[in-house]
Structure 1
């Protein structure tokens, strides 16, 4: 997903209470599985106790997955991970910048260092706070280049000497014969460096380094030496988030022998006891610390080099606490979460947290399937992430410091991506976190100068990236599922204020014309369609709250999609404020800043998730709708039509699995009475666009959305329209998956006879009774039970083909 696009565009223009049920578990026979992988005699179909063994953190680090392999705990504020490139906007090709959105790419052969904050799976980037790199030999100040690693402090490495598990990362830095190990807590990173050579060593702490770097990105930074084992630091940056602030408390396990504070800023503020490397003939000469001295420097280009004469006498460990509030909070976070020097203890605690979170799902399948499933689950449990100190303080979107008394503040709301599947999934796998996430969005609303819910926000900043107001979907989906332990009246007010905010992306025009005119705003068709869905979710929640006037208004607004359907061409099409259709319309064209957002009309015509039945009627009925779906999957999409978008990837015809607007489309055959076609398409997508290799994701993981799609689809169902509480059935891709719910119930999906050939549903039983509809409901899941599906190599064309067996739509209610 090209997060950059709209960001720069805008700068220019539980309460669950149910009876506990226990389900029996059985599996019969030896099953041959999909992805051309058969289960060998040694691969027993058993439920494993240790789920972390199946997580491969390198899946998604190749190709365009944009995930990172480093150490993080569930929903942790710190993501301590290696960086392999120091690309610069305006210098390096855009493709290289895009490729390194997570700082690390599997194709690279050298490491620049280890920084403490990373996005997982985004298409645009920032972060990479406080890069640390140990080395020996010549004391380089520059990172060096990919082509010539010896020109700087970066080091070559090999994947043969690299390991990663949840909460832990290990690599051999080949140029320096140093072993690097990383672990993390919620708010602190733990480094362990073992120097194997008998020669002096250095540790670089680089406050200038960033992911997605450019000149003058650092607004200000400073570092203070407290004693020979403790530093405090700060930096503010102008990246994707403007004037983002982060504070650091850094502790070394052994006193350094000397330290250099290196100020490369021509306009430095002050420099007490630091080296002037701009005017020094010896740029690596250390400055000796006087025990009573306090060294300090501030400026826009600060680096620190700690020197050790005998670094190999014992492993050197470094602990770093982070805070967005203050240096003292960073130190408190560090002292609270890692009050020892036992690296193995922190590593074990991190892995214990992951084991608990990953145990929400039991699964049977091949090794490859379990690697993909549990890695996907791992990726869905990283964000939104905690953005609050141990004392309850956090920096708000207003820039002020707030004290949270009754909730934990979260950040990183990539809502255009994650409302689709990630947030619905979190209501099952982490329901205890959902109220806090919603309260964090409501706090954003209250603190926002615009009085609007987050659009695409992180670390106290609204980036205004992407379109729609999808926070309303997340709130409505949770509320309608019974997660109501937040201020629901405030939530409804926030939803209404957001949906009626006249200055946000042509909402006033949307209300005036019933659509966003293409002469008023680019991406107008996509915006209209997504507004219509958002309005449906507001109507659903208002309806449930007894506010019929609001519900009526927003149900009417939810039908706005019809205003951009051109009956002559049978596609969604741009229209001017005077009612003139786009004269340059091409359903395959995905030009940048055109009528569609990271997509074309072939894809976006199917974006009416809340009223698929209404869309079928517009297109011409079931058969015409099926034919249009077939055309989407079968008609080749020319690269010329999508060349301006890195994100339109993972293609099957016009279908682009590598980007979110297509994610629900394979399930739409169900609405036309052809669920067996959905079963075919899901298997096709799984077989051709997913694997357990580093490049095993078809596109950006987008903060867990791609992974959430995989988990739902592997279970055999998907939330086409979050907040309507139904899930369209595809077909299970593993023989057994059990979802263990927070209310004590278990929802189990069993696929009898599943194999490479047996991809079709023959019959289905829900709690022992025949299931003849092509969807299940939230209550079916949360009440616990068993969905047993008998698979066949031949489609059952009569299963769930009646009108009343199809998933519901708005116009059917």
Structure 2
């Protein structure tokens, strides 16, 4: 396979895929955010963080959108560096992208569940692997005389600039733990009030530490706030290799710590976790066997597309089944679901990816539809494009109708799907104005049976979308025995 596919191109001709590591459908997508010689990266080339044409790695962040057409996520930015002294460190922090590093593709290894790159500027080899909510870093520093080994943690970082609203970081030098949070309002998350990502970082054997705020380092201080802040850890000069564990949560710092402990089985080695995660990928890929005559290029494209299709949507429940709901409350996933899902770019995926999931993984398909109905229970309305725990109103149509219909018409739905609840939600979206993610004025559409162009400039695609949506709703009504309403 070739996991660089989807990381090149320009504008909406780019795949906007992140490059890095995650488990299948994992919430944590740890990867490099890159730039070229320009001081400010071109936004539409970096919606996934990484662009193949770039020459520099700015840092490694722990969440990413997957193939979307806007920027969001990209929190908890970390990069290892080597410094001469505190003055050198100060220069790195005070200069925009002062700590980024050159890299080359010939010094990269990209596999499902494993990423490796050599940072040419800092002379450090970086290896990454990941569980559902934990990123595991292994850094190997070249031994250079009079160079000190440092880790920079940009707690206020988000991939999209200027969307941090609050950030906090605290260093616990006794327990060798770093905790913090960042609250941000990105292109989609800002539409429902923003997202808070909490993190807990565990590593050993540091000798000194400090923080920075507004470009100024403060040696020995262990806590800071602000949207231009972070922390640094100086390792002992003898320590040339380090494994670091980064747990994230959308619930709390305590839950991030739980994720960290549970998902690493109390800090198993990097190689052990890598083996486990890569076996998960092999198990998923192993569901498929193709009997066909094809060339090497076709095989590469198929296997790559398979991995990409198994990378999203996002598993939203965390260790012990907890998750943040659309009502802002903490919930436990129902026992009949293996996982709760979010980051459903429904307008993008109703045509091919969801039918693909229904075809090969009925349990996951049911979990996705149950997740949509949980959105209805907690938020009141069917979603168009749910992100994290909120409605984004992104794109047109009400294509959750089609996802639900697809599962039911193929008779793949389980006994836990409440058809009364489903038909109520579908009836509402087709006939009433929703508070969230509604259609163009339903009463006008019902009156004319089309969207008038003098009332909405998107009249043609809206009319076509609603025709498909209503056909799907009619199929569900028939399946539920409501033939008169269908």
What's the TM-score, normalizing by structure 2?
0.90
Kindly state the Cα deviation for residue 322 of structure 1 after the two structures are TM-superposed: 1.1
> Any conservation in 1 of the 2:36–2:55 contact (CA below 8 Å)?
no
Find 2:394's aligned residue among 428, 446, 465.
Answer: 465
Q: 1:351 aligns with which of 278, 289, 299?
A: 278
1:160 to 2:106 alignment: yes
In the alignment, is residue 529 of structure 1 matched against residue 464 of structure 2? yes
Tell me how far 1:260 sits from its aligned partner: 1.2
- Separation of aligned partners in 2, 1:129 and 1:429: 32
- How far residue 299 of structure 1 moved from its aligned partner, in angstroms, is 2.7
2:354 is the counterpart of 1:423: yes
* Per-residue Cα deviation, 1:560-601 (whole angstroms, up to 9, x for no partner): xxxxxxxxxxxxxxxxxxxxxxxxxxxxxxxxxxxxxxxxxx
Out of 1, 22, 26, the position equivalent to 1:76 is: 26
In 2, distance between residues paired with 1:224 and 1:71?
26
Give the C-alpha shift of residue 261 in structure 1. 2.0
Q: Note the 1:125-524 alignment, pairs <5 A.
A: 125-137=71-83, 138-139=88-89, 140-142=92-94, 144=96, 152-198=98-144, 199-214=147-162, 217-228=163-174, 229-240=176-187, 241-242=189-190, 243-252=194-203, 254-264=204-214, 283-284=216-217, 286-287=219-220, 295-310=222-237, 313-338=239-264, 339-363=266-290, 364=292, 365-406=294-335, 407=337, 408-448=339-379, 451-485=380-414, 486-502=417-433, 504=438, 505-524=440-459
Cα contact 1:142–1:153 (8 A) shared by 2: no
- Is the CA contact (8 Å cut-off) linking 2:150 and 2:232 kept in structure 1? yes
Checking the alignment, whether the CA contact within 8 Å between 1:413 and 1:454 is kept in structure 2 is no
Separation (CA, whole Å) in 2 of partners of 1:68 and 1:405: 31
Deviation at 1:92, TM superposition (A): 5.6
RMSD: 2.0
Q: How far apart are the structure 2 equivalents of 1:225 and 1:513?
A: 62
Q: CA deviation at 1:528?
A: 1.1
Q: Do 2:200 and 2:247's aligned partners in 1 also have CA atoms closer than 8 Å?
A: yes
Deviation for aligned residue 1:502: 2.0
Gaps of 5+ in 1: 1-54, 146-151, 265-276, 278-282, 289-294, 552-813
CA distance in 2, matches of 1:396, 1:315: 40
Query: Per the alignment, in what secondary structure is the counterpart of residue 58 of structure 1?
Result: coil
Aligned to 1:273: none
Looking at structure 2, the residues matched to 154 and 163 of structure 1 have their Cα atoms a distance apart, in angstroms, of 19
CA contact (8 A) 1:506 1:520 kept: no
Cα distance in 1 for residues equivalent to 2:153 and 2:393:
32
TM-aligned CA distance change 1:470 to 1:525, over 3 Å: same
1:67 aligns with 2:17: yes
After TM superposition, give the deviation of residue 305 of structure 1 in Å: 0.9
- Deviations 1:250-286 (CA, angstroms, capped at 9, x unpaired): 111x23211112233xxxxxxxxxxxx6xxxxx4463
Q: Could you tell me how far apart the structure 1 residues matched to 2:482 and 2:105 are?
A: 58
Asked if the contact 1:83–1:115 (Cα under 8 Å) also holds between the matched residues in 2, the reply is yes
Cα pair distance change 1:446/1:236, threshold 3 Å? same
The secondary structure found in structure 2 opposite 1:541 is helix
Q: What is the CA–CA distance in structure 2 between the aligned matches of 1:60 and 1:130, rounded to whole Å?
A: 23
Note if contact 2:224-2:230 (Cα within 8 Å) is conserved in structure 1.
no
Deviation string 1:616-636 (CA, Å, 9 cap, x unpaired) is: xxxxxxxxxxxxxxxxxxxxx
Change (3 A) 1:346 1:142: farther
Cα distance in 1 between the residues matched to 2:199 and 2:218: 26
Corresponding residue SS for 1:433: helix
Match in the other structure for 1:770: none
Distance (Å, rounded) in 2 between the aligned partners of 1:352 and 1:301: 39
Question: Greater Rg, structure 1 or structure 2?
Answer: 1
Structure 2 distance, partners of 1:410, 1:285, is 41
User: Equivalents in 2 of 1:419, 1:236: separation in Å?
Assistant: 31
Higher normalized contact order (CA 8 Å, seq sep 6+, divided by chain length): 1
Q: Once the two structures are superposed, what CA deviation does each residue of 1:161-196 show, in whole Å capped at 9, x if it has no partner?
A: 011000000000001110000000011110110001
Q: What secondary structure, in the 3-state scheme, does the structure 1 residue paired with 2:374 have?
A: helix
Alpha-carbon separation, structure 1, partners of 2:95 and 2:268: 29
User: Quick one: structure 1 residues 348 and 142, their matched pair in 2 at CA, closer, same or farther if it must change by over 3 Å?
Assistant: farther
Instruction: Say if 1:86 and 1:284 are closer, same or farther in 2 by CA, change over 3 A.
Output: farther
Whether the 8 Å CA contact 1:231–1:250 is kept in 2: the answer is yes
Residues 468, 530 of structure 1: 8 Å contact kept: yes
SS of the residue 1:141 aligns to: helix
Aligned to 1:102: 48
Distance 2:365 2:253 in 1: 29
For structure 1, which segment, 491-500 or 171-180, has the greater mean C-alpha deviation from structure 2 after superposition? 491-500
- For 2:35 and 2:102, the matched residues in 1 are separated by 12
Q: Could you tell me how far apart the structure 1 residues matched to 2:40 and 2:456 are?
A: 31
Within 1, Cα distance between the matches of 2:206 and 2:361?
A: 43
Q: Check 1:111–1:153 CA distance in 2 against 1; reply closer, same or farther (3 A cut).
A: same
Deviations along 1:393-421, whole A, 9 cap, x unmatched? Answer: 21112222222232321111101110011
Counterpart-to-counterpart distance in 2, 1:87 and 1:81: 20
1:725-751 Cα distance to aligned partner (Å, 9 max, x none)? xxxxxxxxxxxxxxxxxxxxxxxxxxx
CA contact (8 A) 2:57 2:103 kept: yes
Deviation per residue, 1:209-247 (Å, 9 max, x gap): 222222xx1111111223352011111101120221111
Which secondary structure state, in structure 2, belongs to the residue aligned with residue 219 of structure 1? strand
Distance (whole Å) between structure 1 residues aligned to residue 198 and residue 37 of structure 2: 24
Q: Deviations over 1:319-355 (max 9, x none)?
A: 1111111100000011000122410111111110111
Say which SS state the counterpart of residue 171 (structure 1) adopts.
strand
Aligned length, in residue pairs: 458
Aligned to 2:126, the other structure's residue is in SS state strand
Alpha-carbon deviations, 1:757-787, whole Å to 9, x = none?
xxxxxxxxxxxxxxxxxxxxxxxxxxxxxxx
CA contact (8 A) 2:212 2:218 kept: no
Partner SS, residue 28 of structure 2:
coil
Over 3 Å counting, the alpha-carbon distance change for 1:87 and 1:220 in structure 2 is: farther
